[in-house]
Structure 1
Amino acid sequence: MSKQTKQKIAQIFKQQVEQKGFEHVSVAQLMHQAQMRRQSFYDHFEDKYDLLTWTLKTMMQDDIENNLDYLPWQEIITLVFFDIQENANFYRSILQSQTEVDVVKELAWHFQVLLLHVLKQKGFVKEAKAYDLIETYSLGLTYTMTNALFSPSAKEYDELAQKVINALEFALRT
């Protein structure tokens, strides 16, 4: 299956999750909507949890890893917060209705890639404490982002992103 086909299935998956909720999306419905054979799905994904993992990974790679050499890290963080807000119904559904895929861990892993990039630029790569910062900060950043999805008085994505950027800039002061 080509990457385009996987992306088509993932896009339909995201739409269905937003509309119906994760627990009400089936492979049969997805493939009917995609106008593809059901077996095509199973040729490349084990189940909808595998599709969820691939979808999250692809979304984060598009926002983070694909922009490391093109955008300042602050803009990447803002972009991710924007995309989370734009796909809020999708994220709320997958965070509330399934536990098989650790969404926070998956998102945090991609933030670790970003933070490692930032620390390399700052010359902190060989310091063990820098790696502790990466792991801890990535989880905190991800919880800040995902908790905002459920807050009745949630801040806008740019306010949250700026809070995260300010905290990281403070931590990196030397």
Structure 2
Amino acid sequence: MKKGNIRRQTFYDNFKDKYDLLEWTIRSMMEDDIISNLDYLSWEEIIPLVFYDIEINAKFFRSVIADQTEVDVVKEISLYMTTLLLHILETKGLVKNDQARDFVETYSLGMTYTMTNNLYKPHPKEYDELSKKVVNAIYFTFKYY
């Protein structure tokens, strides 16, 4: 609050605590990257955008993943990745398929883990390399649909 020159009461008028702020921050980032772009970019363009955002904010994400347990950061990101994958399913007419929906929930967690796990590697891979693998995996998965 000191750095932002925000009064304590102003903060609490908008957030109940620092964890509420953390959830809002992650959701805002994911909404900007994913939700705002669903009608304008292809999913193949959105995935690298999300991976890039995680990479340029690596210090922030490493900190909030390591220093607190109140907000499940991976779960929060995964919820938005699920939205993206459901959008892909919708365009392929598979939304009502229970197996496809199960896949989406599981794959979203794996995709998010891939992003966040990379933050802790001594020599992390570049965002474009990781996102290309994810895009290729999605193509492979859906190539028969």
Q: Is residue 21 of structure 2 the alignment partner of residue 51 of structure 1?
A: yes
More helix, by proportion: 1
Q: How many residues align?
A: 144
Aligned equivalents of 1:36, 1:90: Cα separation in 2 = 20
Structure 1: how far apart are the matches of 2:35 and 2:108? 15
1:125, distance to aligned residue in structure 2 (A): 1.1
What is the Cα deviation at residue 105 of structure 1? Answer: 0.3
Q: Secondary structure at the match of 1:34?
A: coil
> 1:67-106 to 2 correspondence within 5 Å?
67-106=37-76
Structure-1-length-normalised TM-score: 0.81
Structure 1 residues 61-70 or 147-156, which shifts more? 147-156
TM-score (norm 2): 0.97
CA RMSD of aligned residues (A): 0.7
Aligned match of 1:165? 135
Moved >4 Å (runs of 4+): none
Instruction: Give 1 or 2 for the bigger CA radius of gyration.
Output: 1
* 1:42-78 per-position Cα deviation (integer Å, ceiling 9, x unaligned): 1110111100000000000000000000001011000
The answer as to 2:82 corresponding to 1:112 is yes
Partner Cα separation in structure 1 for residue 115 and residue 65 of structure 2: 12
For each residue in 1:141-163, what CA deviation from the matched residue of structure 2 results, as whole angstroms up to 9, or x when unmatched? 00000000001121100000001
Match of 1:34? 4
C-alpha distance in 1 between matches for 2:126 and 2:4: 33
Cα separation, 2, equivalents of 1:125 and 1:34:
43
| Identity %, equivalent residues | 58
Residues 65-94 of structure 1 deviation map (CA, whole Å, 9 limit, x = unaligned): 000000010110000000111000000001
Q: Which amino acid aligns with 1:134?
A: V
The equivalent of 2:122 in structure 1 is: 152
Compare relative contact order (CA 8 Å, sep 6+) and give the higher one, 1 or 2: 2
2:117 & 2:49 partners in 1: Cα distance? 17
Secondary structure, in 3 states, of the residue corresponding to 1:43? helix
State the distance in 2 between where 1:121 and 1:87 align: 31
**Over residues 22-61 of structure 1, what are the superposed CA-to-partner deviations in whole Å (9 max), with x where a residue is unaligned?**
xxxxxxxx2x222232101011101111000000000000
1:127 aligns with 2:131: no
